[in-house]
Amino acid sequence: MRFRVPHAELDTELSDEGGHPVVQLHGLTSSRAREREIDLDLGRGLSGTRLLRYDARGHGRSTGRPEPGDYRWEVLAEDLLALLEEHFPGERVHGAGPSMGSGTLLHAAVADPGRFSSLTLMIPPTAWATRTARAAAYRASAALVEARGVGAFVAAGAMAPQPPAAVPPADATPEIPPELLPSVLRGAGDSDLPDPARIAAITVPVRILAWEEDPSHPLTTAQELARLLPHAELRVARTPADVRTWPRLLAEDVARARAAVRPVP
């Protein structure tokens, strides 16, 4: 299914088995198809839900334009909220997603506090004090793609150490058209998590799923989110086997949300 947002069309799929509405996002340079390959498609363990998956603008099968501002997390949050109003009007939804998906969910939750019943935030990205260096790295990567092509970007990424719990993809080529990749990277560089005070005002239950030894998704971000959010639980994976338990944890989160949900005012 295609869904139009300003300057893009989002490619979406809805698995409708009745039950609680759930939306699943993905990370930067990934897609919903790539998430299945690297064991971050937690929705594969769900049943009896209405599960909405989609590719963010510029990613996977969704379209976009070469404009960095289109890929800021605040804009991605606007896309998400429009999708939820289309598919689940007047309902509270459980949201799940890794990295950029976590950032998008947090921006959406502070913009529309009544929209979510609960959240599962996976491998939260660099934020606040650690974001400056990461933003510079994204801008440098964008310049590398423009100067030497996507292959040079993939080769540079292959030299970075992998977190012990991560499952690397068989093909690390970004799930983004080459002509859009520099803009997407610059949009990520211009993004950050919401202000800590606004995050502290999110009152729904939040599960934070993190892993160790990943400079792009440092444990310090997950720990700070767990401290800020009033109803948060942090779980840290150390091996791929630990990550394979995450679909069960998402199923638990959705069951809890289903039991507690109330209509949006």
Which amino acid is located at 3 in the chain? F
User: For the domain that residue 145 is a member of, what is the CATH number?
Assistant: 3.40.50.1820
Residue whose pair of structure tokens reads 């092509």 in the numeric block: 149
Domain that holds residue 31: 2-260
- Contacting residues for 251 by C-beta, under 8 A, at least 6 apart: 45, 46
What's residue 261's pLDDT? 65
Calpha distance 34→175 (Å, rounded): 8
Calpha distance 120→205 (Å, rounded): 9
Tell whether 37 is covered by a domain. yes
Digits of tens for pLDDT over the chain (265 positions)?
899 999 999 999 999 999 999 999 999 999 999 999 998 999 987 899 999 999 999 999 999 999 999 999 999 999 999 999 999 999 999 999 999 999 999 999 999 999 999 999 999 999 999 999 999 999 999 999 999 999 999 999 988 888 999 998 888 999 999 999 999 999 999 999 999 999 999 999 999 999 999 999 999 999 999 999 999 999 999 999 999 999 999 999 999 988 886 554 5
Residue whose pair of structure tokens reads 């400056």 in the numeric block: 132
What's residue 258's pLDDT? 85
- Contacting residues for 104 by C-beta, under 8 A, at least 6 apart: 25, 56, 73, 76, 77, 80, 97
DSSP summary character for residue 43? G
Tell whether 265 is covered by a domain. no
The tally of CA atoms less than 13 A away on the side-chain side of residue 88 is: 29
What's residue 217's pLDDT? 96
Q: Among 123, 134, 129, which residue's Cα sits nearest to residue 186?
A: 134
Q: Say how far residue 141 (Cα) sits from the centre of its chain.
A: 20
Number of domains in the chain: 1
Radius of gyration of the chain, Cα coordinates, nearest whole angstrom: 17
Q: At what angle do helices 181-189 and 131-148 cross, to 10 degrees?
A: 170
- Contacting residues for 216 by C-beta, under 8 A, at least 6 apart: 99, 125, 126, 134
Tell whether 128 is covered by a domain. yes
Calpha distance 177→99 (Å, rounded): 20
